A = this chain, B = another copy of it.
Amino acid sequence: MPKSDPCVKDLNGDSPPWCRDHRGRTYSFEEFLDLTRMFHGYPAPGVIIGAKMVDIAMNRMPSGVLFDAVCETAKCLPDAVQLLTPCTWGNGWLRVVPIGRYALTLYAKNNGRGTRVYVNPAQLEPYPETRYWFYGIKPKRKDKTDLLLQEIRQAQDRLYGVQDVRVQPEFMLKNPSDRRAICPECREAYPAGHGPVCRGCRSDTGYLVRGGD
C-alpha cells in the first residue's frame, strides 16, 4: 500500500479500532480498507461508513442475541453487513428493503426489536467532502477519495443517528422451503408455487435473450 495514502498513516498510535465483527475481531481503519478492497473490489466510502454503522448497531444488541439485518439500500451497505455480521444474502438473514435511505437495522430474530443506524444529514455540516459524496453533488474524483476517507475516519461515530426500532412481524417469519416441480418447458426444477411453468420460461420475468447464445 503506498505510503502517500493519508488513510494509511496512523495519525494516533492508540486510535480505537474502526469496527469489530460478530466474532469480536477488531479491524483498524486500514485493515478494514484492505478487507473492503478484497471483497468489494475497491475501498468504497459507503462500505467504510457502513462498517461503522454496523459496529454502532452491534454494540447496542444484547449479548448473545441472534439477529437479522435489513439495509435500506443495496448500494455498498450490504457488503459491510456481510463482512462483519453472520447475515448474508445467501443465508437469508440479510434483506434489502429498497427505499434508498442510507440506513441499516439489526433486530433480534425472536422479537423483532433492534437498532437502526442512519447517516444523519444534519450531522454532515462540518464534513464537506462527505457531504458532496453523500448528496452526489460533485462528480467522483479519484484524487479526492483519500480526502473523503480521511474525513470519514476523523468523524468517527459523529455522522450517524441511532434509533430503537421494531420490524413488522413478517420480517420475523422464516421463508418456507418450497416443494419443487419440473418445468415442462426448460425441464429444470423450480418452486411449485410459482405456477404451471417456471418464471424463467415466462416472457415477462426472464432475463435472458431467447436464442441468444
Contacts and interface: CB of A to CB of B under 8 A. Distances in A.
Interface in A98-135: 98-103, 105, 112-113, 116, 118-122, 134-135
A7 interface: no
A187 B41 contact: no
Interface string A179-193: 110110011111100
B165 A212 contact: yes
B134 A189 contact: yes
Contact of A99 (B120, B198, B209): B198
Contacts of A112: 209
30 contacts: A39-B88, A75-B92, A76-B91, A77-B90, A78-B89, A79-B89, A82-B82, A97-B207, A99-B194, A99-B199, A99-B205, A100-B190, A101-B183, A101-B198, A101-B200, A102-B189, A112-B209, A119-B188, A119-B189, A121-B182, A121-B189, A122-B187, A134-B180, A163-B213, A165-B212, A166-B212, A166-B213, A167-B209, A168-B209, A171-B207
